[in-house]
Amino acid sequence: MNARIDVVIVSYNSADTLRSCVEPLLDQPGITVTVVDNASTDGSLATLAGLGVNAIDAERNGGFGFGCNLGMTAGSAPLVLFLNPDARVERADLARLEAVLEAEPEVALVGPRLVDSDGELIPSIRRWQRPGTVWSQAMFLHRLFPRAAWANEIASAHERYETVEYPEWISGACMLGRRDALEAIGGFDESFFLYCEDMDLCAELVKHGHRIRYEPGATVHHVGGHSAPRSSLLPVLATSRVLFARKHASPFSARIQRLGIAVDAATHSFAALRRPSYARGHFAALGSTLRRRVVGHNAG
């Protein structure tokens, strides 16, 4: 039987969760599972021993988008599910996502309701990064006005997650897309090593005339969904936000956003003084933002 869905899971030191992520997918007809390991040091792939998966040892950590693209090209199914290694999707929920794409040809990418291990909602309906949201985050206004679209890039109102939405972008923790649409834009932009690659993917699909859809009838458990970035990854996050601004905003807007991202790093470094590792991480993010050249897409 030809596969309907290629599941792509990118692993990096995911030994604790990888097998439990893969197992629910193995008894589903018409589905193939490809795990791309980005040079893990914890023996992640060894946890899949005896399971019928296509395991790819990338031998280097080229980033999340790099791993997704590598896994996508290993298959040929018309639909591709990108799934985090600490997420778990059951058959009925995957079927609901598939039904959305069957019913709405203008939708190229659909995501589910995300919850953590306790069943608590993980907000996943997102708005584009804009100068207003960047500066609001820098000045902590998104905490004072969590429901204001001008201040927050994440829809926090729980009632929003009870109905169908067509957001600007959705979390990359779990999203089902059309292969033809994904291939037409070249897949993920590998300039984004980590963070913002899902926002960028959605932006490219929208530019090509597609819609993004949130489906409340499908629920996926995402263990690490509430986790803040590790302190060592804060410079990576800042760099990705600068790259997104340069790729999708006007030159003037990109400069305003870059300055806001720098201010964000500075204000958060002071706010995190009681957590020295995070203070250092934010300070490093400030340095990465202010460098003359930022490695990545259209950097200069």
Residue ranges covered by each domain of the chain: 5-222, 231-290
pLDDT at position 229: 81
The answer to whether the beta carbons of residues 14 and 86 sit under 8 Å apart is yes
Q: What is the pLDDT along the chain (300 residues), one digit of tens a residue?
A: 689 999 999 999 999 999 999 999 998 899 999 999 999 999 999 999 999 999 999 989 999 999 999 999 999 999 999 999 999 999 999 999 999 999 999 999 999 999 998 999 999 999 999 999 999 999 999 999 988 999 999 999 999 999 999 999 999 999 999 999 999 999 999 999 999 999 999 999 999 999 999 999 999 999 976 666 889 999 999 999 999 999 999 999 999 999 999 999 999 999 999 999 999 999 999 999 987 555 544 333
Three-point CA angle 120, 122, 125, nearest 5°:
145
pLDDT at position 171: 95
CATH hierarchy code of domain 5-222: 3.90.550.10
The residue assigned the tokens 């800042």 is 238
